[in-house]
Amino acid sequence: MKKYYIGADIGGTTIKMAVITKDGTILDKWEIPTNHKDDGSYIPEDIHFSLKDKLIELGIHKEQILGIGAGAPGFVDADTGFVYQTVNIGWRNFDLGKILKEKTGFPVYVDNDANLAALGEKWKGSGENSNDLIAVTLGTGVGGGIIANGEVINGVNGTGGEIGHITVIPSGGAPCNCGKTGCLETIASATGIVRLAEEAITKNKETSLAEFSVKERTFTAKDVFDAARAGDKLAREVLDYVMDVLGMAIANLAIACNPSKIVIGGGVSKAGEDLLVPLRKAFDQYALPRTSEACEFVIAELGNDAGVLGGAFLVQQNLE
């Protein structure tokens, strides 16, 4: 009898789900909208019914399911599946692991969504089964996951691997969504890059980016990368600064956990070599030469599938 894992990546807008084979092939994947009614309390039920229908459709019996690996956007107790606090979903002290297990009858394992994405990249993506890996997601915010000795670091109360909230500006930094100021996220996210470029333009208007203010739309992080590639000095300076700060933060993490891979994902990672080359240069400046020697920078490969594959791998790890 063929056995399967279920991955569920719970986000603020959609819940991505997948039936995954033991070797990590996605048999089927689908999405359902995230139900925000009553502070998200219907979400476990929605997952249960959607999964039930899907298993009937695929002709898979309950006994063939090894477990559900679920990712939640927030602080999670990975041992119990208890969710302390979330962003974009109303959960606060929500016992997701227990409730989802009761509804579905399957074993349920929960971790932070960015941690699951790191596990997914390790298992089936550009992490190539590295047991020591740092995953950094550069999107609207900065997410992260750290894998050390083969296991994701969750920590004593769920804040392990929250790379985006490392303080990089000790005083006078921009406010962050977490309530602090000067977090890495305020500099190295797509939002941070645009903010820094906008600030730079107020001091120096000799840049192609200034044209955007008279056009219909404002510019994006991609526009800043495009301008830098085309030779725009201001855009280049902004990105050099961002890569310097990000490279230093990653180098400091790398000195702490000595990874073999740094996996960079998220929308900003689409810049590819334009991002990796200056980032690597900055990293090398701050890391120990021996740390740097052992460490490879790669772009994440799995995109939106990283979370569900990480969920499947989490089940596998727990059952082993």
Least distance in angstroms from the C-beta of 184 to Zn ion: 8
Single-letter amino acid code for the residue at 40: G
Closer Cβ to Zn ion, 185 or 232, answer by number = 185
The answer to whether 4 and 20 have CB atoms below 8 angstroms apart is yes
Q: Which is nearer to Zn ion, 14 or 167 (CB)?
A: 167
- Cβ neighbour number for residue 28 with a 10 Å cutoff: 14
> Closest separation between CB of residue 162 and Zn ion, Å?
8
Residue 165 or 280 with smaller CB distance to Zn ion: 165
For Zn ion, the closer of residues 66 and 193 by Cβ is 193
**Which is nearer to Zn ion, 22 or 180 (by Cβ)?**
180
| Minimal distance, residue 88 CB to Zn ion, in Å | 15
Q: Which residues pair with 167 in a beta bridge?
A: 183
Buried b (16+ CB within 10 A) or exposed e, 3-12: ebbbbbbbbe
Residue whose entry in the numeric block shows the structure tokens 């107020």: 202
Q: For residues 312 and 68, give the distance between their C-alpha atoms in angstroms, rounded to a whole number.
A: 7
* Radius of gyration of the chain from its Cα atoms, rounded to whole angstroms: 20
Q: How far is the CB of 134 from Zn ion (least distance, A)?
A: 18
**Between 100 and 187, whose beta carbon lies closer to Zn ion?**
187
Contact criterion met (CB below 8 Å) for 81 and 2: no
The DSSP secondary structure of 25-92, one letter per residue, reads -EEEEEEEE---HHHHTTHHHHHHHHHHHHHHHHT--GGGEEEEEEEESEEEETTTTEEEEESSS--E
Is 176 within 8 Å of 206 (Cβ atoms)? no
Q: How far is CA 150 from CA 94, 120, 187, 231, in A?
A: 28, 12, 30, 42
Least distance in angstroms from the C-beta of 276 to Zn ion? 24
Q: Which is nearer to Zn ion, 183 or 302 (CB)?
A: 183
Return the bridge partners of 147, or none.
Answer: 133, 152
Least spacing, CB of residue 277 vs Zn ion, in Å: 27
**How far is Cα 270 from Cα 278, in angstroms, rounded to an integer?**
14
CB 73, min distance to Zn ion, A: 14
Which two three-digit tokens encode residue 229?
Answer: 């590639």
CB of 186 to Zn ion, least distance (A): 7
Task: Give whichever of 41 and 181 is closer to Zn ion, judged by the CB atom.
Answer: 181
Residues lying near Zn ion in the complex (CB under 5 A) are found at 165, 176, 178, 180, 183
